[in-house]
Amino acid sequence: MTDGRFRIERDSMGEVRVPSDAYYGAQTQRAVENFPVSNLRFPRRFIKALGQIKMAAAEVNADLGLLDPEIARAIVLAAQEVIEGKMDSQFVVDIFQTGSGTSTNMNANEVIANRAIELLGGEIGTKSPVHPNDHVNLGQSSNDVIPTAIHVSTLSAIQEDLEPALSELLAALREKSVEFMPIIKTGRTHLQDATPIRLGQEFEGYAGQVERALQRLSYAKAELSEVALGGTAVGTGINTHPEFARRVCEKLSQLNGFEIRETTNHFQAQSSLDACVLTSGVLKTIAVSLMKIANDIRWLGSGPRAGIGELELPEVQPGSSIMPGKVNPVIAESLLMVCAQVIGSDAVVATGGQWGNFELNTMMPVVAYNLLLAVEILSNGARNFAARCVRGLRATEKGPQLVEQGLAICTALAPEIGYDAAAKIAQEAHRTGRTIREVARERTQLSDEELDRILNPEVMTEPGRNIGPAGG
């Protein structure tokens, strides 16, 4: 029944007016009316994962003799359109909805069912010959579909976006490490001058952080590969075929190019989101690493005259609306904000993970949103930082010029004359404005040749020939 703009649909609670051109149905419309909270929706990758699950489920149910082959084919075709993004406008439910994500699961069921009905020549909204629950949701529950979609979509985002982005950043940092290895500069600890270090060694450290970020992602991926599908409502597997989940997981693996396997413990998989919490923690760790790298580079490029000024950052845009010629480290600052957001998203995911009440977690939508947001912006931020900042970095002469003026090179004197004597030389050099070499020439019996050997900055950047206290 329609009045032009709307059609009347019925669900278990009664009649609902649904826009006449909508592929979603009564349960989705109720959710739209119940949750007018934000403009936030599940991202494209999550909707794609939902479509994949529904398509694989239809194929498996048909293979098991549980679903009419003609209906299954129509569901598969409709689900493929969801996978391809052709139905994105029909996924209209707010993130802040029922904690199980039931509204979004039914959104998918209704869209696919109505599109399948249309493909079979029927009238959308009639639930005939394709029913959203009886056919599209056959062998499934929102309680196992939604956490499975979270895992599949996050795995996809990590493999397709984040790992390649971090690999690009790693390559850029390694290139700069090699380029900058000949450059000796002053190290810094506690924001104070320390013993010399090679600029390339600093970048070697940055590269090591990204390398370990990729290693940590592999741990997260292993956790995410195990999914809840097959547990249905509470983990017992009621109303599903014993072979259903395993076969669907095999198809999901083929579709995505990475392993998806049924959990060995459905009760933990549905009552908790521990794998999501772990993954979010890895993303937060990566964000902390990238924040350190971006902020170091930002500081090393400070100036150009009144700052550290050991690096020149690429000039990508004017830096000030009032100060002509000013150029700011905007790419680094963009990444810093990305990292701050990822750390904040982790707080949401960790909080959401705590709401595993008995047999079901009830914060799955907001966990999914924040997890996927973190992966997306980390990917984009890392790739942009590599391309528009790191690859364009140039070393200045300022770092090497300051080495001889540094006080911490007195560390190399300690094995020769003792810690206390070296400290007195450093204190006098600081008080008088002279160099360590100049004061040592006066206060020790060491020859110029010996001082040249001991105070050689290049030697100080490697495990030393002289053994003694190194400071902190």
Q: Where in the sequence numbering do the catalytic residues fall? A: 190, 320
Would you list the DSSP string of 383-421? HHHHHHTGGG-EE-SHHHHHHTT-SGGGGGGHHHH-HHH
User: Are 162 and 228 contacting, i.e. CB atoms less than 8 angstroms apart?
Assistant: no
Alpha-carbon gap, residue 380 to 166, rounded angstroms: 10
Structure tokens given for 402: 């300051």
- Judge residue 468's burial from the number of C-beta atoms within 10 Å of its C-beta, 0-12 exposed, 13-18 middle, 19 or more buried: middle
Where does 176-247 show beta strands of DSSP type E? 184-189, 192-198, 226-227
Alpha-carbon gap, residue 56 to 152, rounded angstroms: 13
Neighbours of 150 (CB within 10 A): 28
Would you list the DSSP string of 364-390? HHHHHHHHHHHHHHHHHHHHHHHHHTG
Helix, strand or coil, per DSSP, at residue 17: strand
Peptide bond into 69 cis (omega under 30): no
Structure tokens given for 211: 């390398």
Structure tokens given for 70: 């003609």
- Beta-bridged to residue 245, according to DSSP, are none
Per the rule left: phi > 0, alpha: psi between -120 and 50, beta: everything else, 369 is: alpha
Alpha-carbon gap, residue 369 to 388, rounded angstroms: 28
CA atoms within 13 A on the CB side of 101: 30
Query: What's the sign of the alpha-carbon dihedral 264, 270, 271, 275?
Result: positive
Instruction: Give whole-number Cα distances, 99 to 145, 153, 201, 360, 362, in Å.
Output: 13, 18, 48, 9, 4
User: Are 288 and 378 contacting, i.e. CB atoms less than 8 angstroms apart?
Assistant: no
Alpha-carbon gap, residue 152 to 173, rounded angstroms: 30
